[in-house]
């Protein structure tokens, strides 16, 4: 068994050029969890893969990748298969784990560009993630965190295989990374690691307004959050354009 394992999730396709670099430059067991693949070219650059003939949710795929990675390596990294994190960034996470100073790593995207398109309007989704952070404030035991700055849905995590069960997400949809971050902060010795990403990859995001509404509904249901109360309390922390969108979504959800 290799010491490092990398669990990659994807729907239909993986960034092949990025995966090839990953396989060439890192001594790791790479496992790809993919739904409805359009091609099997990716299989040349991974040690194993889990194929789902139908699409499964983002959260279930992330959870599967965590379990498989923890079975295949002592140090584990799980990441999206779009290649937004460079091989060098993934190396930095691996190196932090190999130092044995921390049980888990939460990447902090320095230059994150999160886009939500509605018709001809483009919204900054990092502002919506800020609102989501504020909604789960009471779920975090360590109160010294600045929720206006931290990235709790980074698309990649590093962790020791031995703690996998402690941080496995309950949530199986778009809030999965948020759920993992809460568990990492509350239950492990962790580090937040600033990393740059490929903004061009983020620009291609297919995340929709329907997906955003599902996230807000899940926030209200799973974390027992009153969305309107949080919004009224913190609305001035959010940019005006995205503030109006959040209010419209809450109005639609709550009637």
Give the position of tokens 């560009």: 113
Is the pLDDT at 252 greater than 60? The verdict is: yes
* Residue 49, pLDDT score: 96
* Residue 97, pLDDT score: 96
Is the pLDDT at 203 greater than 60? The verdict is: no
Is 0.85 topped by the overall pTM?
Answer: yes
> Which of 20-24, 82-86, 137-141 is predicted with the least confidence, judged by mean pLDDT?
137-141
Is the pLDDT at 168 greater than 90? The verdict is: yes
Domain that holds residue 134: 4-254
What CATH number has the domain bearing residue 40? 3.90.550.10
Rounded CA separation 98/95 (Å) = 5
Q: How confident is the model at residue 179 (pLDDT cuts 50, 70, 90)?
A: very high
Residue range 67-124, pLDDT digits in tens: 999 999 999 999 999 999 999 999 999 999 999 999 999 999 988 778 898 999 999 9
Question: Tokens at residue 101, please?
Answer: 């100073």
Residue range 24-35, pLDDT digits in tens: 999 999 999 999
* Residue 148, pLDDT score: 73
Give the position of tokens 């997400």: 169
Q: How confident is the model at residue 176 (pLDDT cuts 50, 70, 90)?
A: very high
* Residue 199, pLDDT score: 72
* Residue 220, pLDDT score: 86
Nearest to 208 by CA among 77, 75, 111, 114: 114
Give the mean pLDDT of the chain.
91
Residue 200 neighbours by CB under 8 Å, 6+ apart: none
Mean predicted confidence (pLDDT) in 210-233: 90
Is the pLDDT at 21 greater than 80? The verdict is: yes
* Residue 171, pLDDT score: 63
Rounded CA separation 78/62 (Å) = 7
Nearest to 158 by CA among 190, 197, 187: 190
36 sits in the region (left: phi over 0; alpha: psi -120 to 50; else beta) called left
Residue 245 CB coordination number (10 Å): 23
Q: Total structural domains in the chain?
A: 1
Residue 114 neighbours by CB under 8 Å, 6+ apart: 124, 125, 126, 128, 129, 202, 205, 207
Cα–Cα distances (Å) from 61 to 19, 20, 51, 89, 172, in that order, read 18, 21, 10, 22, 8
Residue 244 neighbours by CB under 8 Å, 6+ apart: none
């Amino acid at each position: 068994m290799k010491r490092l394992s990398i669990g990659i999730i994807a729907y239909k396709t993986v960034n092949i050029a990025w995966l090839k670099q990953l396989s060439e430059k890192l001594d790791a067991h790479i496992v790809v969890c993919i739904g409805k693949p359009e091609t099997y070219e990716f299989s040349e650059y991974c040690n194993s893969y889990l194929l789902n003939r139908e699409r499964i949710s983002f959260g279930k795929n992330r959870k599967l990748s965590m379990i498989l990675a923890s079975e295949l390596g002592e140090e584990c990294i799980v990441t999206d298969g779009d290649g937004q994190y460079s091989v060098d960034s993934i190396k930095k996470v691996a190196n932090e784990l190999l130092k044995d100073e921390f049980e888990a790593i939460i990447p902090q995207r320095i230059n994150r560009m999160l886009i939500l398109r509605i018709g001809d309007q483009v919204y900054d989704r990092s502002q919506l993630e800020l609102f989501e952070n504020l909604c789960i404030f009471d779920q975090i035991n360590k109160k010294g965190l600045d929720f206006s700055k931290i990235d709790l849905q980074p698309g990649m995590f590093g962790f020791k295989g031995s703690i996998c069960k402690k941080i496995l997400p309950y949530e199986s949809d778009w809030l999965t990374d948020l759920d993992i971050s809460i568990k990492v902060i509350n239950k492990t010795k962790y580090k937040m690691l600033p990393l740059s990403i490929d903004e061009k990859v983020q620009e291609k995001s297919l995340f929709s307004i329907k997906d955003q509404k599902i996230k807000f509904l899940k926030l209200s249901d799973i974390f027992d959050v009153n969305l309107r109360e949080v919004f009224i309390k913190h609305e001035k922390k959010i940019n005006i354009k995205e503030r109006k969108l959040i209010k419209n979504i809450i109005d639609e959800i709550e009637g």
